[in-house]
Amino acid sequence: MRLLSILCLGVAVQTAWASPTLRVIDGVRSKPDAWPWMAAIVYANQQPNEGQFCGSTLIHPSWVLTAAHCTDGETRDSIKVLLGRKKLTEEDKGELIGIQRIVKHPFYDYNPENPNADLALLQLEKPVSYPILRLADQYSDLIQPGEWGTVMGWGAQRYDHSRPSEYADSLQEVRLPIVSNAVCNAPLSYHGDVQESMLCAGFVEGGKDACIGDSGGPLVVETNTGWQQVGIMSWGEGCAQPDYYGVYTRISFYQDFITKQICEPQDTPSSPQLFVHIQGHYATVSWSKVKTAEGYQFYYAPSSADLSSVTVDNIQSFDTLGKVRLSERLNSGMNLSVAVRAYRGNCYSDYSNVGTIIIE
């Protein structure tokens, strides 16, 4: 197995292929106005088209998100972040921004084959005004098997007999289906190496994938409120190899850690006050509008005494698309606990008070 960015640094992959595989490998060039939050990580002493070695995403005006292994051996002075440029050789576009701080997840284990908690945050030396990418909520259902995601990067576009091609000058993208961890852990695939904090995407026949130089970049899915990031390119066996999917850090698993690192008090909305009204089989849930909020995430689960595991282990959530009132006809015997959080970018309020819905 291999870390994509380690390959960027020249460590050879040991698995040879019988024939060359095209890629991101078999991707397409991104449109100039697409993915405005996509960023390249480059060596500070090289030009971007020569020194790009990992991807990242802008998730806060002062922070980008990448893979922890992309920062192994690096300091805040050795790397920079490039934003606003899709074609690396277009020197008149975008800006190179220095790094103030590197924050790796404390459980990152430096495993050279299948790293755990492969996540790092880079604090920029100054805030920027580019659009940010929202992260998937930890209780959302955006990563169901069969759902389609998109990955992107400036990495190798061809992989021939364990040798990567030169990296792409223009940002490339490819669509991939999300695969269950059970399938990804099959004996003919990763045989149990994929943990619950990881997720997989790709085709069983291979042929399309992220590759060398794409590490740290995003796996994103399209939602009713725009694109959201569900994964960080982390590791895999070769590139686009049959039976071996790309493995990504599962964003939702680390949402609390990320928001605690990047969100200041002035970024965080106040908590809404929630109200529940029951009339027959109709339940209406409403909440106070929060002035600084950009939206609201609604949470629901089977109700239980003292919020036992029956509730805590079965929480689901969805974005209300800005609504502050929901009404639904429910079946007899329905018993739910509900709550809501306001958000601004990737910074969330505390939970509202918990409401209970009981339909006799």
User: Using one digit for the tens of pLDDT, what is the confidence trace for 150-192?
Assistant: 999 998 776 565 554 578 899 999 999 999 999 999 999 999 9
Residue 288 CA, chain-centre distance (Å), reads 30
pLDDT score, position 15: 31
According to CATH, what is the number of the domain 135-260?
Answer: 2.40.10.10
Tell me the whole-structure pTM to 2 decimals: 0.90
Per cent of the chain over pLDDT 90 is 78
**Binning pLDDT at 50, 70 and 90, where does residue 8 land?**
very low
* Structure tokens belonging to residue 133: 């990418």
How many angstroms separate the CA atoms of 336 and 322, rounded?
22
Q: Is the pLDDT of residue 14 over 90?
A: no
Name which of 164, 134, 33 is nearest 343 in CA terms. Answer: 134
* Structure tokens belonging to residue 61: 């005006």
How many angstroms separate the CA atoms of 138 and 256, rounded?
8
For residues 111-117, give the mean pLDDT. Answer: 91
According to CATH, what is the number of the domain 4-8+35-132?
Answer: 2.40.10.10
Name which of 347, 323, 352 is nearest 337 in CA terms. Answer: 352
Residues 6+ positions from 244 with CB-CB distance below 8 Å: 189, 190, 202, 206, 236, 237, 238
CATH 2.40.10.10 in the chain: give the residue spans: 4-8+35-132, 135-260
CATH 2.60.40.10 in the chain: give the residue spans: 265-358
User: Using one digit for the tens of pLDDT, what is the confidence trace for 230-271?
Assistant: 999 999 988 888 999 999 999 999 999 999 999 999 999 999
The residues assigned a catalytic role are: 69, 118, 215
According to CATH, what is the number of the domain 265-358?
Answer: 2.60.40.10
How many angstroms separate the CA atoms of 337 and 221, rounded?
28
Name which of 62, 115, 55 is nearest 79 in CA terms. Answer: 55
Distances (CA, A) of 270 to 136, 265, 350, 356: 20, 10, 7, 22
Tell me the backbone φ, ψ of residue 321, rounded to 5 degrees.
60, 35
Q: Are 304 and 284 in contact (CB under 8 A)?
A: no
Give the number of residues written for the chain: 360
* Structure tokens belonging to residue 125: 């030396």
